[in-house]
């Protein structure tokens, strides 16, 4: 068990839907991350939060909206997505932004 949980594990949505992904870490870490993993491509870092403050946004389209209400929870709000946004979305956490990151199991997203 990695101590990082994600829900839902699978999600199918239409391009006009609004949905949210949830991540929770039970490790007492202060940094949390969202990554996108597509087939045959490196993990793409999307957002970084340190102590609830967003410290990095890697030119992610505005149809992805992150929220970090506290150091243990991270959300990714989705709206008007495109089929090319279909991927595995991974959440990770680390102690105070140190390099060792612990990943959740991911949410497999399919946009129709």
Partner 1 sequence: TQLLEQSPQFLSIQEGENLTVYCNSSSVFSSLQWYRQEPGEGPVLLVTVVTGGEVKKLKRLTFQFGDARKDSSLHITAAQPGDTGLYLCAGEDDYKLSFGAGTTVTVRA
Minimal distance, residue 2 CB to partner 1, in Å: 7
Q: What are the residues binding partner 1 (CB under 8 A)?
A: 2, 4, 6, 9, 40-43, 45, 58, 90-92, 97-106, 108
Minimal distance, residue 21 CB to partner 1, in Å: 13
**Smaller CB distance to partner 1: residue 39 or 84?**
39
**Smaller CB distance to partner 1: residue 16 or 40?**
40
Minimal distance, residue 99 CB to partner 1, in Å: 4
Q: What is the DSSP string of the chain?
A: --SEEEE-SEEEE-TT-EEEEEEEE-S--SEEEEEEE-TTS--EEEEEEETTEEEEE-S--TTEEEEEEETTEEEEEEES--GGG-EEEEEEEEGGG-S--EE---EEEEE-
**Smaller CB distance to partner 1: residue 18 or 38?**
38
**Smaller CB distance to partner 1: residue 86 or 97?**
97
Rounded-to-integer distance, Cα 110 and Cα 101, Å: 26
Minimal distance, residue 7 CB to partner 1, in Å: 13
């Amino acid at each position: 068990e990695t101590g990082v949980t994600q829900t839902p594990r699978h999600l199918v949505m239409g391009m006009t839907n609004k949905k949210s992904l949830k991540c929770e870490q039970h490790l007492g870490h202060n940094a949390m991350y969202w990554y996108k993993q597509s087939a045959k491509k490196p993990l793409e870092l999307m957002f970084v939060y340190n102590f609830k403050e967003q410290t990095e946004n890697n030119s992610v389209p505005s149809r992805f909206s992150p929220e970090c209400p506290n150091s243990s929870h991270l959300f990714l709000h989705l709206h008007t997505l495109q089929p090319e946004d279909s991927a595995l979305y991974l959440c990770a956490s680390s102690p105070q932004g140190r390099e060792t990151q612990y990943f959740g199991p991911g949410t497999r997203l399919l946009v129709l």
